[in-house]
Chains A and B, each alone.
Chain A
Amino acid sequence: MSERRASLLLRIAAVLALVGLALMVWGSLDPTPLPVIVAMSVGQGIGIVSFLIYLVVVVADLRRAKVFDRRAPP
């Protein structure tokens, strides 16, 4: 994965995480049915997606660095 693409993905993840955090905090500060349900489903779902994007970028980076390569370095 190119540096540019990794940066773009992480920026998308950051924006998603900010949205997810806002929804999670809304549910915590206003514990009525709709905010709580939105926080515990949509908010956390968005947060999970953003973290998965981060993991994809990190794993791709580690693969590029051949961290998972079983052969010993020369």
Chain B
Amino acid sequence: MSISSPLGVVALGCALLAAAILLWFLIRRPLLGGGTKIMLLLGLGVFPLGTAATGNITGYHATKLRSFCGSCHVMQPWTRDSDDPTSATLASRHARSPMFGDENCYTCHADYGRLGTITTKIGGMRHVYEYTIGGYGDLTEDEAVAAIHIRKPFPNSNCMQCHSTTANGWLALPDHAAVVDELRADHVSCMGSGCHGPAHPFSQGGTPQ
């Protein structure tokens, strides 16, 4: 979050107000009358709640940004590819779409459905664990490209958030029409070789298709 964002100003403003009240209480040591307790309600409750609430909103938004994913150095090869305007990989081409933009990692890799946001965040916590304690933080970028792989097969349902498989133009393609049921059932991957190929071919030993 930049301090120039409105929520950043609110978060910092609430924190400064709370800190001013708390420091006043600690330094001046006023009597514990009703006025002091109301001030402490503001300093211990209301203003910290404002900081926490705005912090949660901005924190949640920050975790969806590609720059957040790339802040762990082992993810840099993937985020650099998305940043590259000349890259022909599936991931980069999606990143150039305004529908994905700076949030292309999250948009493609998030779980969808009723509890999707929660399971996605739990998965993100596992990434942090693997990076800080699991040894991935010690890898070089080259080692990371060889070692990091997707945990489970990429579900077609994530592609189908946008590509519904019902549009006439999509169904008019013989390759699509031939396997539409298998695609919807996840028996055939959109990113299989011969179809669209892996989204990050440099880490799969393949080439963009």
Q: Report which A residues bind B (CB closer than 8 A).
A: 3, 6-7, 10-11, 13-15, 17-18, 20-21, 24-25, 27-29, 31-34, 36-37, 39-40, 43-44, 47, 50-51, 54, 58, 61
Known contacts A28-B58, A31-B1; is-contact A14 B51 (Cβ 8 Å): no
A14 touches B128 (CB 8 A): no
Beta-carbon contacts under 8 Å, B3-43 to A:
3, 8, 11-12, 15, 18-19, 22-23, 25-26, 29, 32, 37, 40-41, 43
Q: Is B59 an interface position by the 8 A CB rule? A: yes
CA distance A32 to B131 in the complex (A): 13
Q: Which 7 A-B residue pairings sit nearest by Cβ, starting from the closest?
A: A31-B62, A14-B22, A32-B71, A54-B44, A36-B59, A28-B11, A28-B55
CB-CB under 8 A from A28, the residues of chain B are 1, 8, 11-12, 51, 54-55, 58-59
Distance in Å: Cβ of A34 to nearest Cβ of chain B: 8
Contacts between the two chains (Cβ within 8 Å), count: 101
CB-CB under 8 A from B128, the residues of chain A are 33-34, 37
Q: Is B204 an interface position by the 8 A CB rule? A: no
CA distance A48 to B129 in the complex (A): 25
